[in-house]
Structure 1
């Protein structure tokens, strides 16, 4: 009996040893497979900025922006080879010329006017609300360069910037030409022609406002650190984090694609209010705030903003009671352009004629874009002690 049990014991031990060996083989196989998977994942991840010399790293969002704006990139950028083509050099030349003209006639003058005339009058605020601005970052930045948060609103879709290295040279040429066309009116006259922009933004690979915003950020000397899509206030939002220099604080640009007609996107106002004390900016706003259909956004801006800078296409002059608002008038007001001739404001005209304190506006802006024909009004909400 003892011998029989001894044989069974030895046989059982052999089975245990065999099972252990088999288990070790399985574990080794799993470990090897895991290493293969990990290596595959690492290969799929973006190459960081410290890639070995000679290996192009993946283009950052800032490099994409500078590429679109016609600005030279480092040789190790994945987009650098595309900049050597005749097509791209022509794009860079045309964009540089357009920007140089805009900087001379508008941007530099707006910056100087803002520093000497606008900024000293503004109350403390951390948010600029440019609700009908579309992708017009460039004018808002000229006037409010140091605002921690800027919100641009419009109906135009956010869109995206495709992988530019995957486009053929003819495709790239067509897309860059379309980008120049979509920014042309702003760089010439300071505002977008929305019906034309709608066509431009729906064609090709550079769709929506994202390519325009990227280009404008780069042209104005900013560096983009991050860009992502979020949802806020029930609407799709493009969030861009940028700096004016390496030592400058981070600033945030939000582009909100939303319809603000009465009854739509009511939760949007709660989100906007949560961002902080605000200043409003309205330009070339199609006189929408003259209509009762946009009374909700009009009332929100009047309630929420400590100051509003606008041309005559913004909130009608009659809403700015002198016992509640300090009014500063700039430029010249006669009447709207023919397209909006029914939006003439007799009370605003009388204010310009009779106030005696209309100051010079050194640049053109809005629909009356010619210097000497434009108007701006700054309304600053009075403190309780001033009422």
Structure 2
């Protein structure tokens, strides 16, 4: 046999051997969208064996369906309808959401045409879990826990910080923030094109994708989404927004200040922007944001007038019992004596009663502003 043919035969055999090794190991890596649909309780049409049934089974799919419908009926659709009239944010651009957790779903209802959502919180993003790579027992535990979180979401309209913190510490069954973001994206009708860990570059001061990242490097994550031919980016960033951190981390402080030049959404922020220990981010928002939409836990009402005229929606008398009863006294006074701009036909924060839920919308005065347009 000629030497060239022998070499070719050896190469073919090596290729077949490597292919057999791959086939005999674990299942091939799945697409990000396939994982997202599994988390969201949606069947994957690309899997021939799905027969229209979600990967986790019909019971899990039914739980997520019911929770999502409850959310859409009580909060999601009313919020989207309200925002179209009272926020009317222009298409494109970035929306900055500090103290967000994995709450992509709310900001997407209020700013549906944004090109980029930037969410910041204290929990690590953590890598997505492929349930098919788990043992049968671990897979059932994963979906059982996720199912419980979906039930809470259906009642509350958000994932609770205490639950997220507990999940981050759980060494046995962990969901992680990244799967929640992916599930929300799938339920919002997006195709999840890519999911990548990101980290701040010391050269550019921006968050950029990491290559071959270790599991413990997934503190921040980027989702690249697609819907109706439009690409949308979601950046979830783990960052301490307190003065003590920002004063000692100049790159983080500069990045936060750049984000503050975009429209900002604040919800369920534990009244932290009213705390003296968070004055740096508060001042950045007041000085720069062209549009601020917030509930009572955001910036103190006395600061809002520095941005522009404040439109009051809903009702507010006092903070939730979890917080200092003296918080936002000026806001309560404004609601007592001022003319509100309308009711708030939905609730997605601590205050659930129709006589307590509120939002404020503030647009930057054009004259003399230094804020970036949007």
Q: CA deviation at 1:34?
A: 5.6
Specify the SS of the correspondent of 2:265. Answer: strand
Q: 1:152 is matched with which residue? A: 119
Specify the SS of the correspondent of 1:329. Answer: strand
Q: 2:220 is matched with which residue? A: 237
Specify the SS of the correspondent of 1:382. Answer: coil
Q: 1:215 is matched with which residue? A: 183
Structure 1 range deviating more: 280-289 or 163-172: 163-172
Counterparts of 1:83 and 1:275, CA distance in 2? 41
Q: 1:8 is matched with which residue? A: none
1:21-56 deviation line (CA, Å, top 9, x unaligned): xxx96x88776666666666777899xxxxxxxxx9
Q: CA deviation at 1:305?
A: 1.4
| 1:198 and 2:198 matched | no
Cα contact 2:261–2:285 (8 A) shared by 1 = no
Q: 2:214 is matched with which residue? A: none
Counterparts of 1:28 and 1:273, CA distance in 2? 64
Q: CA deviation at 1:183?
A: 4.2
Residue 82 to residue 207, structure 1, CA distance change in 2 (3 Å): farther
Cα contact 1:68–1:215 (8 A) shared by 2 = yes
> Aligned residues, how many?
348
Q: 1:380 is matched with which residue? A: 363
Q: 1:257 is matched with which residue? A: 238
- Normalized against structure 1, the TM-score is what? 0.80
| 1:360 and 2:343 matched | yes
Q: Rg: which structure is higher? A: 1
Residue 266 to residue 181, structure 1, CA distance change in 2 (3 Å): farther
Q: CA deviation at 1:200?
A: 2.8
Say which of 165, 181, 195 aligns to 1:227: 195
Q: Which has more helix, going by share of residues?
A: 1
Q: 2:292 is matched with which residue? A: 308
Q: 1:320 is matched with which residue? A: 304
- Normalized against structure 2, the TM-score is what? 0.82
Residue 201 to residue 305, structure 1, CA distance change in 2 (3 Å): same
Counterparts of 2:173 and 2:52, CA distance in 1? 16
Q: 1:369 is matched with which residue? A: 352
Say which of 96, 108, 115 aligns to 1:129: 96
Q: CA deviation at 1:99?
A: 0.6
Q: What residue ranges of structure 2 are gaps of 5+ in the alignment?
A: 208-218
Q: CA deviation at 1:167?
A: 2.2
